[in-house]
Homo-oligomer: A and B are copies of this chain.
Amino acid sequence: MSHKVYNFSAGPANLPSTVLKKVQSELLDWSDSGMSVMEVSHRSKDFVALAVNSESMLRELLNVPSNYKILFLQGGATGQFSAIPLNISTPTDTADYIITGNWGKKASEEARSYLNVNVVANESTSNYTTLPDLNKVSFSSDAAYVHYTPNETVYGVEFSKPLAKSSVPMVADMSSTILSRPIDIGSYDLIYAGAQKNIGPAGLTIVVINENLLGKARSITPSVLNYTLMSESESMYNTPPTLSWYIATLVFRWLLDTGGLEERHKINLAKANLLYQCIDSSKIFKAPVVESARSLMNIVFTAQDNELEKTFLEEASKANLKNLKGHRMIGGMRASIYNAMPIEGVETLVDFIDNFDRRYT
């Protein structure tokens, strides 16, 4: 079978099949070394060349200005929830947090251990189906930074463009939107993203940081979370997650080879539009997020009742449409359609939804 299953997991998520096949083909012998890539030293000539090449490709994809550093760190975005205040604030500072879902909420909660957190917007009142009206938000006059989550994975809400930039450093958790569309890096001072949605396997996190935020880490910052140390050592202060970094590099190559982020954005828009239109025209399903706030990556939808949702998920799984269950916090359904989900996967899901709709109404 050319495609056994379509995997709509929110993360760890599906990866491009060309990338996986490449990983498989050279798993025992990477770069003519006679060794697996996971067996070679991060300081070997070949791996350092991979790391340099990886950064250069990511810089090209995201069009990163030369005054921004790119860091390849261990762990996931959750590790950055503490790293950010530890690196760019003091304990008496205040940071403004915009909460549009679960991840922004968690980021703000962890930050409270390190500075004063001012929640300037919180969409929990709409059950995270909306985005705040930023004209009505009162930002702190002297915030160390503003933090927000351009795409919220659990509820499926996304800012379609960056927030207006002031002189306050702008920090964004891009875990589930990075590489899905062009980003204006200049609209941010620090972006970060766990790898396991659009980059590669879990265990790698990418940070893009304006150089003017370096050199400010508190003395209690763990070295593995210290952006200055990591920047000075080209992300090799200690052993980086080499296998994940290598796979991420293959994903960058795949993105460049398939037209970069402009092209990717077109495809992602087409995929999301197709699916939202299908849901909006269904008699059984609906998408709770208001139209202007809908995510291109995580399409959340519900059915009329829990029984129907259960039936839908069971039947979908049997039809090899996998991992459509919503996050355990909110239930319902969620189709995560990251870069690696081909449009054929979305078309197959749409056909399945249409058919289900006919059969159960």
Chain A interface residues (CB < 8 Å from chain B): 4-5, 7, 9-15, 17, 20-21, 23-24, 27-29, 33-36, 38-44, 74-79, 81-83, 86, 110, 113-114, 194, 196, 200-204, 219-220, 222-225, 237-244, 247, 320, 322-323, 328
Q: How far apart are A352's CB and chain B's nearest CB, in angstroms? A: 16
Q: Are B201 and A323 in contact, CB atoms less than 8 angstroms apart?
A: no
Known: A222-B222, A320-B34. A43 touches B328 (CB 8 A): yes
* Chain B hits for A9, CB < 8 A: 39-41, 44
Q: A243's closest neighbor in chain B, by CB?
A: B201
Q: Are A39 and B243 in contact, CB atoms less than 8 angstroms apart?
A: no
Q: How far apart are A57's CB and chain B's nearest CB, in angstroms? A: 20
A204 to B241: give the CA distance in the assembly, Å.
Answer: 8
Contact of A36 among B20, B75, B113, B225 (CB under 8 A): B20
A interface: dominant SS:
loop
Contact of A75 among B7, B23, B224, B320 (CB under 8 A): B224
Q: How far apart are A321's CB and chain B's nearest CB, in angstroms? A: 11
A343 to B223: give the CA distance in the assembly, Å.
Answer: 37
A-B contact pairs, 6 of them (CB 8 A): A4-B29, A41-B323, A75-B75, A77-B238, A79-B238, A82-B223
Known: A33-B5, A82-B222. A201 touches B10 (CB 8 A): no
A9 to B36: give the CA distance in the assembly, Å.
Answer: 12
Q: Are A79 and B74 in contact, CB atoms less than 8 angstroms apart?
A: yes
Known: A12-B42, A75-B75, A196-B239. A34 touches B5 (CB 8 A): yes
Q: Are A27 and B20 in contact, CB atoms less than 8 angstroms apart?
A: yes
* Chain B hits for A110, CB < 8 A: 222-223
Known: A12-B242, A79-B224, A219-B113. A74 touches B39 (CB 8 A): no
Contact of A222 among B17, B38, B77, B225 (CB under 8 A): B225
Q: A5's closest neighbor in chain B, by CB?
A: B34
Residue of A7, A15, A33, A36 with most partner-chain B CB within 10 A: A36
A103 to B39: give the CA distance in the assembly, Å.
Answer: 21
Q: Are A203 and B243 in contact, CB atoms less than 8 angstroms apart?
A: yes
A194 to B74: give the CA distance in the assembly, Å.
Answer: 12
